């Protein structure tokens, strides 16, 4: 098991907190309230259009679509935890989900870097190394992008018909897969740790952790595609053949949104990609746009819901087990 050290991390105890620790606690809560506020604002701004669209969708499809999103988020979180556990002492799914999901709400603040900063601070609060959390998140980002490029091949016909210049995206697939080789990925991870002035990995990443993380990312993309397909299929399109396109569309949309880091959660960019694929599957521009907006709102609801559940579950778990020491 590899270990990432953090000189600032300390075992959690019952000693009296210093003034600095109390200030950091307040800062963390302010940061959490800030990102939740941004998420709620985005939810409110799209609510009327979302509700109008959803009123035309069978309630069974809406519920199942939200369930698919929640499942996608939990599967992706499992992939993140696999990496973090590989870098140190296992922390358990409940605590890992709290750090990952509550921290990921930072993506709703303009500049997606806030998600990583909040995850590191929540990890530090739990007694984990900041470098460990950042490294796990960074590796997962790289793996998920390569996975998304592979899955996006399912939407290639629709993507190319609307944007021929997108061909260059798929040229990156062989390169991305090569970078996922455990030796290459381990070298890149150690390089990042060196830049952070931390000790390199004590042992290389193995095929097991890489394959599991890649599988979790692929599963998450597939479940997100199920979410979009359930919404679109409720009005008679795009049908079973469009299911494959929806899976590819979500992979393309979420990846493009990830790199639009100036915007809160890639707002606007994700919808453009979704609309392009949905219209190619038979929906009108108006229908595709409405479902893209509905999808964004449902993502926000799912993010807030899973983060809230994870926070409560982690607190209940912490009462039964001692907090982990720094790893």
Q: Residue 168 falls within a domain, yes or no?
A: yes
Q: Is 110 part of a structural domain of the chain? A: yes
pLDDT at site 14: 44
Torsion, Cα of 178, 182, 188, 193 (10° steps): 160
Q: Does 2 map to a domain? A: no
* Domain assignment of residue 287, yes or no: yes
Q: Give the integer Cα–Cα distance in Å for 232 and 244.
A: 13
**Within a domain: 262:** yes
Residue 262, pLDDT score: 45
Among 101, 129, 94, 95, residue whose Cα is nearest residue 115: 101
Q: pLDDT at position 219, please?
A: 95
Q: Domain for residue 13, yes or no?
A: no
Query: Which phi and psi angles does 89 have, rounded to 5°?
Result: -65, 130
Counting the structural domains of the chain, the total is: 1
The pLDDT, as a whole number, for residue 160 is: 60
Sequential pLDDT tens for the chain (327 residues)? 565 554 444 444 444 556 555 555 555 555 555 555 554 555 565 556 555 666 667 778 888 999 999 999 999 999 999 999 988 888 888 888 889 988 888 777 766 677 788 888 888 888 888 888 888 888 998 899 899 888 888 877 666 665 556 566 667 788 888 989 999 998 888 887 788 777 777 778 889 999 999 999 999 999 998 998 888 777 665 666 778 888 887 887 777 766 654 444 445 566 676 777 777 666 677 777 777 778 888 888 898 889 888 888 777 766 665 555 544
Range of the domain at 69: 19-320
- Tell me whether residue 77 is in a domain: yes
149 contact partners, CB below 8 Å, separation of at least 6: 169, 170, 172, 173, 176, 251, 255
Residue 327 is assigned to a structural domain of this protein: no
Copy the structure tokens of residue 180. Answer: 């996922």
Residue 39, both tokens = 């998420």
User: Quick one: pLDDT at residue 208?
Assistant: 92
Question: What pLDDT sits at residue 263?
Answer: 45
**If phi over 0 gives left and psi between -120 and 50 gives alpha, with beta otherwise, what is residue 239?**
left
pTM: 0.76
């Amino acid at each position: 098991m590899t270990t990432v050290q953090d000189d600032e991390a300390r075992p959690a105890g019952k000693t009296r907190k210093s003034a600095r620790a109390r200030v950091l606690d307040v800062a963390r809560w302010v940061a959490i309230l800030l990102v939740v506020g941004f998420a709620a604002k985005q939810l409110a701004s799209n609510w009327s259009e979302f509700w109008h669209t959803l009123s035309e969708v069978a309630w069974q499809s809406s519920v199942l679509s939200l369930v698919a999103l929640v499942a996608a988020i939990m599967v992706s979180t499992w992939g993140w935890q696999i990496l973090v556990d590989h870098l140190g002492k296992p922390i358990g799914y409940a605590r890992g989900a709290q750090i990952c999901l509550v921290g990921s709400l930072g993506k709703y603040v303009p500049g997606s870097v806030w998600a990583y900063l909040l995850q590191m601070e929540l990890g530090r609060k739990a007694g984990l190394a900041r470098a460990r959390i950042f490294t796990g998140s960074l590796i997962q980002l790289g793996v998920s992008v390569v996975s998304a490029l592979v899955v996006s091949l399912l939407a290639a016909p629709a993507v190319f018909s609307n944007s021929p210049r997108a061909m260059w995206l798929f040229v990156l697939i062989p390169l991305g897969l090569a970078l996922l080789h455990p030796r290459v990925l381990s070298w890149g991870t150690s390089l990042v740790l060196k830049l952070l002035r931390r000790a390199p990995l004590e042992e290389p990443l193995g095929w097991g952790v890489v394959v599991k993380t890649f599988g979790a990312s692929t599963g998450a993309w597939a479940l997100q595609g199920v979410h979009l397909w359930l919404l679109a299929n409720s009005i008679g399109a795009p049908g079973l053949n469009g299911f494959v396109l929806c899976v590819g569309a979500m992979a393309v949309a979420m990846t493009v949104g990830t790199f639009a880091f100036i915007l809160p959660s890639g707002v606007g960019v994700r919808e453009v990609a979704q609309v392009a694929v949905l219209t190619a599957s038979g929906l009108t521009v108006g229908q595709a746009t409405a479902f893209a907006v509905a999808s964004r709102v449902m993502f926000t609801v799912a993010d807030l819901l899973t983060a809230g559940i994870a926070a409560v579950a982690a607190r209940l778990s912490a009462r039964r087990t001692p907090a982990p020491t720094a790893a």
